């Protein structure tokens, strides 16, 4: 079969690979009908996430048709069913899964020994990601093996297109969880840094959850356009000061809730000197992430506010203003998404027409064109916001 | 390397049979090669400056050569990073500086004048490659200015923005483990938490 394979920094290839095989009774094989390139795939593309190996298949946003099931799936899935595959692999049985903390499932990371060394404790297995999270082959491929398939799936009701439901596997619940963990109140201002796909979903989630004001921060006009379309007030940080404008929009008090949908690769600009410092340290491997957005959020957030971090961080950050955060009494909530915790509810909202996540798709291409689309997405060319690939 | 890394995969995991076309273009590979060249030259200049000054008839200029070495290393690191466009243009600037320095050493009284001429020719050749690389990556990775798509009709709310505002509040409760601290949660009945705990 064909698959997009990581060969090194900025080197993704559409390779011919062997077909995946069932190796555990709880496995299923899915023929992928749609998959997407995620912003966090770009961190792998840039080799900022440790423990990737040449030959790893990319992709953690995918859906398709079940073509084979193991004997242990126990009728939970049948051949021919359409499913979206959540990017977090879950057993559904461990203590964390029973609490709904699916992204820290205690069972599914098959490389626990690595994760324990680096994270202290293992987290859930993830598709198409680092070997610290199991090194499971991803779904930017014609076929994917789904481990723990009896639990790791979202069934798609008839009548919904791939485009409407594909993002249930990651960016929609990620944006939703980012907003939910802010515990939005009707008089809250929610500020969201980054209008990429997760930021766009967080904006819509904050609107649905009834924030009085949603403010979206980015520098790319087309992304700000998209944010504005959902009812957000926008700030272009190339043109105005984020801190001044946020204070102006909140009577000097700052937003109660701040969401970081940027993560470890903050935009580098001379007007944000700390980003140059971080970039230099990152290149010399003295720091793994560029936390400009975190610093700005901590500075501008209203005291006793909430900082929500769906953006991916990979390792060590520097000059983290802990004193500000402590003295302002901020609450931090973060983590990979507990996808299945939210998907029943979100699927219902899609069916009822409350939200249609397909708005974010700007480019659709063949799987073979994937390597080129990585470049287009990374370089933000052709007003690209979200790429869907069709194997 | 890909074959070696298969050791870490399970039996049922797919393995590469035949590699396909890469996301790295020809110009990206040229830039990568120039980046490694820059690192190598920079290290040599930093660690063995006397070899350069002796060969070029520039005694006493070891510190200058060392500083050029640091510059080369900086350019090399940048050229090998996602910010390779900046890295390549910094190499072009560095080439110009090298040409000026060598031109100053190309004096009639320099016994190593021939070596300087050779070095000048080498720098000119590298400069051509750097220019090709810099222009190539700038063109390949830039966002085209001017035309952009408009997304102002992409609300994502099929029933409109107004009807979406707060729509989920009707049937969604924040789970207990994600509720905000009382300071920014809603005040009970519009009241005063301090008074209620007073």
In this predicted structure, the answer to whether residue B193 has a pLDDT above a threshold of 70 is no
Cα–Cα distance measured from residue A251 to residue A241, given in angstroms and rounded to the nearest whole number = 16
B168 to A188: CB separation less than 8 angstroms, yes or no: no
Cα–Cα distance measured from residue A295 to residue A319, given in angstroms and rounded to the nearest whole number = 8
- Adjacent-strand bridge partners of A82: A65
Q: Which of B38, B90, B139, B154 to mutate to test the interface with A (most CBs of A within 10 A)?
A: B154
Cα–Cα distance measured from residue A233 to residue A255, given in angstroms and rounded to the nearest whole number = 13
**Under a CB-based contact definition with an 8 Å cutoff, are residues B123 and B27 in contact?**
no
B180 to A185: CB separation less than 8 angstroms, yes or no: yes
Q: What is the pLDDT of residue B198?
A: 39
**Under a CB-based contact definition with an 8 Å cutoff, are residues A361 and B149 in contact?**
no
C-alpha to C-alpha distances, A254 to A75, A188, A221, B186, nearest whole angstrom = 52, 10, 24, 17
Pairs of CB atoms within 8 A across A/B: 227
C-alpha to C-alpha distances, A181 to A103, A184, A259, A298, B175, nearest whole angstrom = 15, 8, 10, 17, 9
Nearest CA to A171 among A142, A204, A138, A193?
A204
Q: Which residues contact B112 (CB under 8 A, 6 or more apart)?
A: B55, B56, B57
**Which conformational region is residue A380 in: left (phi greater than 0), alpha (psi within -120 to 50 degrees), or beta?**
left
Distance from CA of A272 to the nearest CA of B (A): 16
Please, what is the average pLDDT of chain B? 90
| Neighbour count for residue B131 (Cβ, 10 Å) | 15
Cα–Cα distance measured from residue A235 to residue A275, given in angstroms and rounded to the nearest whole number = 19
Query: A297 in helix, strand or coil?
Result: helix
C-alpha to C-alpha distances, A157 to A164, A241, A340, A350, nearest whole angstrom = 11, 46, 16, 11
Give B122-135 pLDDT, tens digit per residue. Answer: 999 999 999 999 99
Question: DSSP of A35-89, one letter per residue?
Answer: EEE-HHHHHHHTT-SS---TTEEP-SEEEEEEEEE-GGGTTSS-TT-EEEE-SEE
In this predicted structure, the answer to whether residue B146 has a pLDDT above a threshold of 80 is no
Query: B residues 61-100 near A, CB within 8 Å?
Result: 77-78, 81-83
Residue in B78, B144, B183 closest to A381 by CB: B144
Q: What is the pLDDT of residue B54?
A: 96
Q: What is the pLDDT of residue B64?
A: 96
Q: Binning pLDDT at 50, 70 and 90, where does residue B182 land?
A: low
**Under a CB-based contact definition with an 8 Å cutoff, are residues B134 and B92 in contact?**
yes
Query: A residues 367-386 near B, CB within 8 Å?
Result: 368, 371-372, 374-375, 378-383, 385
**Cα atoms in the 13 Å half-sphere on the side-chain side of A221:** 9
In this predicted structure, the answer to whether residue B195 has a pLDDT above a threshold of 60 is no
Q: What is the pLDDT of residue B143?
A: 85
B16 to A356: CB separation less than 8 angstroms, yes or no: no
Question: DSSP of A179-222, one letter per residue?
Answer: HHTTT--TT-EEEEE--SHHHHHHHHHHHHTT-SEEEEEES-HH
Q: Is the domain defined by A2-170+337-390 classed in CATH 3.90.180.10?
A: yes
| A216 touching chain B per CB within 8 A | no
Specify the domain boundaries for CATH 3.40.50.720 within chain A: 172-334
Q: What is the pLDDT of residue A329?
A: 96
Q: What is the pLDDT along chain A (391 residues), one digit of tens a residue?
A: 999 999 999 999 999 999 999 999 999 999 999 999 999 999 999 999 999 999 999 999 999 999 999 999 989 999 999 999 999 999 999 999 999 999 999 999 999 999 999 999 999 999 999 999 999 999 999 999 999 999 999 999 999 999 999 999 999 999 999 999 999 999 999 999 999 999 999 999 999 999 999 999 999 999 999 999 999 999 999 999 999 999 999 999 999 999 999 999 999 998 899 999 999 899 888 999 999 999 999 999 999 999 999 999 999 999 999 999 999 999 999 999 999 999 999 999 999 999 999 999 999 999 999 999 999 999 999 999 999 999 9
Cα–Cα distance measured from residue B5 to residue A17, given in angstroms and rounded to the nearest whole number = 14
Give B33-49 pLDDT, tens digit per residue. Answer: 999 999 999 999 999 99
Nearest CA to A337 among A178, A119, A220?
A178
Q: Which residues contact B129 (CB under 8 A, 6 or more apart)?
A: B30, B34
For B164, list phi and psi in degrees, rounded to 5: -75, -25
In this predicted structure, the answer to whether residue B174 has a pLDDT above a threshold of 50 is yes
Specify the domain boundaries for CATH 3.90.180.10 within chain A: 2-170+337-390
C-alpha to C-alpha distances, B141 to A34, A374, A383, nearest whole angstrom = 26, 11, 13
Mean pLDDT score, B96-115: 95
Please state which CATH class domain A172-334 belongs to.
alpha beta
Nearest CA to A142 among A18, A311, A279?
A18
Q: Binning pLDDT at 50, 70 and 90, where does residue B142 land?
A: confident
Distance from CA of A227 to the nearest CA of B (A): 8
C-alpha to C-alpha distances, A186 to A209, A381, B140, B172, nearest whole angstrom = 8, 37, 46, 13
Domain ranges (residues) in chain B: 23-139
Q: What is the pLDDT of residue B2?
A: 62
Residues from chain B contacting residue A188 (CB–CB below 8 Å): 184
Cα–Cα distance measured from residue A127 to residue A145, given in angstroms and rounded to the nearest whole number = 10
In this predicted structure, the answer to whether residue B161 has a pLDDT above a threshold of 90 is yes
Residue for token pair 């020809």: B26
Strands, DSSP E only, in chain B?
A: 16-18
Give B18-30 pLDDT, tens digit per residue. Answer: 999 999 989 999 9
**Under a CB-based contact definition with an 8 Å cutoff, are residues B62 and B32 in contact?**
no
**Under a CB-based contact definition with an 8 Å cutoff, are residues A52 and A6 in contact?**
yes
Cα–Cα distance measured from residue A154 to residue B187, given in angstroms and rounded to the nearest whole number = 37
Residue in B20, B166, B172 closest to A14 by CB: B20
Residues from chain B contacting residue A359 (CB–CB below 8 Å): 154-156
Give B49-83 pLDDT, tens digit per residue. Answer: 999 999 999 999 999 999 999 999 999 999 999 88
A378: nearest CA partner in chain B? B141
């Amino acid at each position: 079969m064909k698959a997009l394979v990581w060969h090194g920094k900025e080197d993704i290839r559409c390779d011919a690979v062997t077909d995946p095989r069932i190796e555990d009774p709880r496995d299923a094989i899915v023929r992928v009908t749609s998959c997407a390139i995620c912003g966090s795939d770009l961190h792998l593309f840039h080799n900022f996430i440790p423990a990737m190996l040449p030959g790893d298949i990319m992709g953690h946003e995918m859906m398709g048709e079940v073509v084979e099931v193991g004997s242990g799936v126990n009728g939970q899935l049948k051949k021919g069913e359409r499913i979206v595959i959540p990017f977090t692999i879950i057993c559904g049985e461990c203590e964390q899964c029973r609490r709904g903390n699916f992204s820290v499932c205690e069972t599914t990371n098959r490389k626990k020994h690595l994760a324990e060394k680096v994270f202290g404790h293992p987290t859930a297995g993830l598709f198409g990601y680092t070997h610290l999270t199991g090194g499971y082959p991803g779904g930017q491929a014609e076929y994917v093996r789904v481990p723990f398939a009896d639990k790791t799936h979202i069934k798609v009701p008839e009548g919904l297109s791939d485009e409407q439901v594909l993002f249930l596997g990651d960016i929609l619940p990620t944006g939703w969880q980012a907003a939910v963990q802010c515990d939005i109140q009707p008089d809250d201002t929610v500020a969201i840094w980054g209008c990429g796909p997760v930021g766009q979903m967080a904006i819509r989630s904050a609107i649905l959850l009834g924030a009085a004001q949603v403010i979206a921060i980015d520098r790319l006009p087309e992304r700000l356009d998209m944010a504005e379309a959902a009812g957000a007030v926008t700030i272009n940080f190339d043109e105005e000061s984020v801190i001044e404008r946020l204070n102006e929009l909140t009577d000097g008090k700052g937003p109660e809730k701040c969401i970081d949908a940027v993560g470890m690769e903050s935009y580098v600009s001379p007007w944000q000197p700390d980003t140059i410092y971080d970039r230099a340290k990152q290149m010399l491997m003295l720091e793994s992430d560029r936390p400009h957005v975190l610093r700005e959020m901590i500075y501008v957030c209203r005291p006793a506010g909430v900082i929500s971090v769906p953006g991916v961080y990979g390792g060590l950050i520097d000059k983290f203003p802990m004193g500000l955060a402590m003295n302002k009494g901020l609450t931090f909530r973060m983590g990979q998404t507990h996808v299945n915790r939210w998907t029943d509810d979100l699927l219902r909202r899609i069916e009822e027409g409350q939200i249609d996540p397909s708005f974010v798709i700007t480019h659709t291409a063949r799987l073979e064109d994937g390597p080129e689309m990585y470049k287009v997405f990374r370089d933000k060319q052709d007003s690209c916001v979200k790429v869907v690939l069709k194997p | 390397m890909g074959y070696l890394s298969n050791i870490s995969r399970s039996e049922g995991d797919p393995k590469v049979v035949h590699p396909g076309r890469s996301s790295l273009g020809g110009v990206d590979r040229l830039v990568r090669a120039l980046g490694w060249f820059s690192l190598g030259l920079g290290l040599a200049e930093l660690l063995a400056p006397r070899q350069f000054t002796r060969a070029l008839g520039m005694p006493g200029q070891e510190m200058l050569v060392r500083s050029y070495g640091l510059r080369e290393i900086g350019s090399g690191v940048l050229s090998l990073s996602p910010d390779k466009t900046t890295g390549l243009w910094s190499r072009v600037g560095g080439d110009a500086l090298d040409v000026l320095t060598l031109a100053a050493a190309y004096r009639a009284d320099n016994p190593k004048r021939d070596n300087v001429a050779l070095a000048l020719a080498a720098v000119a050749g590298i400069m051509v490659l750097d220019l090709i690389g810099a222009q190539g990556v700038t063109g390949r990775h830039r966002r085209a200015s001017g035309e952009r798509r408009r997304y102002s009709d992409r609300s994502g709310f099929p029933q409109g923005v107004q009807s979406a505002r707060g729509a989920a509040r009707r049937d969604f409760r924040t789970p207990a483990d994600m509720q905000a601290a009382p300071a920014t949660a809603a005040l009970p009945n519009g009241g005063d938490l301090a008074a209620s705990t007073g």
